[in-house]
Structure 1
Amino acid sequence: MEYTTTRRTVIGSLLGGAFLALGSTGASAQDGLIAASVADQKSLFYIAAVDGMRAAAEEAGLDFNVASANNNSREQISQVQNLLVQQPDALLFISQDSTAAAAGVKAANTAGVPVIAVDQRPESGDGDIATFIATDSVKAARDLCSWLFDQMGGEGQLAILKGVLGSTAEIQRTQGCNEALENYPDIEVVATQTANWDENEAFRATQNILTANPELEAVFGESDAMALGAAKAARQAGRDDLLSVGIDGFPTMFDAIREGFVQATMAQIPYQMGMMAVQDAMKIMNGEGDSIPELQYQDAVLLTADNIDEYQPSDFYGPAADEMK
């Protein structure tokens, strides 16, 4: 299977649409308020997404208010209600979990404020959203796990570290890797644990997994933070040979891949997705909401030692990417 692609191809076509200037969307600079509620401002993905939102709002002359829930669904629900009191023209919503997603979207629907969901979405029947912008996580996980299984020679023991259970990304990434596993019958999943996207939780989980499974060959972390935590636990245990991969494309992963600390990541485009959310909000404000697709899945880019030098962190995480290392 061929996974390699070039930076020119990716940036010129796959990511190209997200780099469009606001003026080319048909939306013009105007007065208005965009509100954003995000799960946290610790994850580099969410930081970059908010950076993209803020940059697009500033370019358009819009006011922009953002609230971070610090990974607390109850706090996020309260914050959404407070943001809605300000009567924003649109709510950009990165929910903490399914509970916050459902409650937040329903509150916005009641207030008549259109919702643009980014990265996480409410389940069917839990309210109406204008659009959903996210990585195609099923495809990303399927491609990444297939690549990993090839590096394992098509056989061996695998551990899976899951994100927040029930979140959109966790569901889709689990599905994607399971689809890859169907094509590799000699890969044995010996452990599956939840580490909630957190590096420290992944570190502790991997310590326990290695103790119980000394012949473990690889870890699929459903996020880069968990992949890094797994790699650190492996190094502490003297297992420099353990393969560890993740999904996000964090700027910190570039050096980690070059140094062989981790083997691969699927790089997302959070900065551009944040910009897209504001561009869609402006379309709604200009009466062009019907032109927005219901689903806007974005492809991720497989980064490995073979192609890591063809890319820059800013290709995915925006101008401030180097400060995130």
Structure 2
Amino acid sequence: MTNFPISRRMASRLMGTACALALLPITAAAQDKPVIGVSVADQRSLFYIAAVDGMRAAAEKAGYELNVQSASNNSRQQIDQINNLLVQQIGALIFISQGSTAAAAGVRAANDAGVPVVAVDQRPESGDGQLDTFIATDSVGAARELCTWLFDQIGNEGKIAVLQGVLGSTAEQQRSQGCNEAIEATPGIEVVATQAANWDENEAYRATQNILTSQPDIKAIFAQSDAMSLGAAKAARQAGRDDLISVGIDGFPTQLAAIREGLTQATMAQIPYRMGEMAVADAIRIMTGEGGDIPAEQYQDAVLITSENVGEFKPSDFYGPAADKM
């Protein structure tokens, strides 16, 4: 059985963005700086909460004001909020879209107003709008690495199940692609059940109960989020299947705790706090005319965390200072 601990090179690379932000110059008096508008799908998801926390920290450090609006997962509300932000003549828009409708309308409205757009996590795919940059986790790479690790744990053969997020979402598509690439490279793996559980722990619990009834000999479950991994693991434990391996993607504090106690086995930890910092840093560079070399896409590596290395990390390494208090 091969282990895949995080390399110190990767850890150093993950810290690079945060260190670079400290060098961001302040070139104007605070009262002369434009407000940065932030439109986020919701402020219930821990990922989005951490991303906004990172944005606030970076803006405060650089002396900029943020106007943060949460759409509570309502597309119509998000479109209205973006229009209101644009009326207030914001200098840039940081956008985490709720869905394709809000994405298309929001980006187009910002483009029409001449306001640069920095998208985070969810790529606005529809419409003809233009982004200045897109910051997100490399979900394809994360899922491929996690599934490769998972398959190794079961000897690269056997039956598995897959729990998907919201079908059609950027993350669901990319995580499906990444794991499928690992499956294609491992002929001994057979996917015998695939079910959408919409990122939700309770839905994943019920889905896993059904899967274990119809496919009692599965060896593992690849869940596309930590919440679904937790739901699957709890259903497996309730069914007396403590041998079932359950993995997810996020790096939530609850998942790190579950790995420590042996309930779940692995996660790919994202870095939303630092992605929020990056979004503000890029917005400032664009507004001050220094963003010409910002890449159109900025995919961030996730970190494989297992029982082998979970003791090396704290939740705040990924989700910001507040995460250690959860």
Give the TM-score, by structure 2 length: 0.93
Q: Are the equivalent residues in 1 in contact too, given 2:40–2:68 (CA < 8 A)?
A: yes
In structure 1, the gaps of 5 or more residues are none
The offset of 1:5, in angstroms, is 2.2
Which of the residues 131, 151, 154 maps onto 1:152? 154
The offset of 1:309, in angstroms, is 0.8
Residue-pair matches, total: 322
The offset of 1:301, in angstroms, is 0.7
In structure 2, the gaps of 5 or more residues are none
Partner in structure 2 of residue 4 of structure 1: 5
Q: Residue type of the partner of 1:80? A: I
Partner deviation per Cα, 1:265-316 (whole Å, 9 max, x = no partner): 0011110000000000100111112121111111111000001111121111
Q: Name whichever of 259-268 and 164-173 sits farther off.
A: 164-173
Q: How does 1:252-291 map to 2 (within 5 A)?
A: 252-291=254-293
Q: Distance in 2 between matches of 1:217 and 1:77?
A: 44
Q: Distance in 2 between matches of 1:194 and 1:99?
A: 22
Q: Distance in 1 between matches of 2:236 and 2:40?
A: 32
* Distance of aligned partners of 1:56 and 1:233 in 2 relative to their CA distance in 1, 3 Å threshold: same
Q: Distance in 1 between matches of 2:261 and 2:279?
A: 35
* Distance of aligned partners of 1:160 and 1:73 in 2 relative to their CA distance in 1, 3 Å threshold: farther
Q: How does 1:208-247 map to 2 (within 5 A)?
A: 208-247=210-249
Which of the residues 186, 189, 202 maps onto 1:187? 189
Q: Name whichever of 89-98 and 270-279 sits farther off.
A: 89-98
Q: Distance in 1 between matches of 2:44 and 2:260?
A: 24
Q: Are the equivalent residues in 2 in contact too, given 1:93–1:118 (CA < 8 A)?
A: yes
Q: Are the equivalent residues in 2 in contact too, given 1:134–1:298 (CA < 8 A)?
A: yes
SS state of the match for residue 172, structure 1?
Answer: helix
Partner in structure 2 of residue 24 of structure 1: 23
Q: Residue type of the partner of 2:34? A: G
Q: Are the equivalent residues in 1 in contact too, given 2:24–2:62 (CA < 8 A)?
A: no
Partner in structure 2 of residue 169 of structure 1: 171
RMSD (CA atoms): 1.7
Q: Are the equivalent residues in 1 in contact too, given 2:100–2:126 (CA < 8 A)?
A: no
Q: How does 1:1-325 map to 2 (within 5 A)?
A: 3-6=4-7, 8-12=8-12, 14-20=13-19, 22-26=21-25, 28=27, 30=30, 31-123=33-125, 126-323=128-325, 325=326
Q: Distance in 2 between matches of 1:230 and 1:126?
A: 39
Q: Are the equivalent residues in 2 in contact too, given 1:27–1:279 (CA < 8 A)?
A: no
Q: Residue type of the partner of 2:269? A: A
The offset of 1:238, in angstroms, is 2.1
Partner deviation per Cα, 1:247-274 (whole Å, 9 max, x = no partner): 1111111111011111000011110000
Q: Are the equivalent residues in 2 in contact too, given 1:45–1:317 (CA < 8 A)?
A: yes
* Distance of aligned partners of 1:268 and 1:87 in 2 relative to their CA distance in 1, 3 Å threshold: same
The offset of 1:229, in angstroms, is 1.4
Q: Distance in 1 between matches of 2:300 and 2:293?
A: 18
Partner deviation per Cα, 1:107-147 (whole Å, 9 max, x = no partner): 21122211101111122654100001111111100000000
Q: Distance in 1 between matches of 2:170 and 2:180?
A: 15
Q: Residue type of the partner of 1:132? A: F
Q: Name whichever of 230-239 and 253-262 sits farther off.
A: 230-239
* Distance of aligned partners of 1:66 and 1:259 in 2 relative to their CA distance in 1, 3 Å threshold: same
Give the TM-score, by structure 1 length: 0.94
Q: Are the equivalent residues in 1 in contact too, given 2:26–2:63 (CA < 8 A)?
A: no
Q: Distance in 2 between matches of 1:206 and 1:83?
A: 43
Q: Percent identity?
A: 69
Q: Distance in 1 between matches of 2:22 and 2:323?
A: 25
Q: Distance in 2 between matches of 1:23 and 1:124?
A: 35
Q: Distance in 2 between matches of 1:195 and 1:18?
A: 33
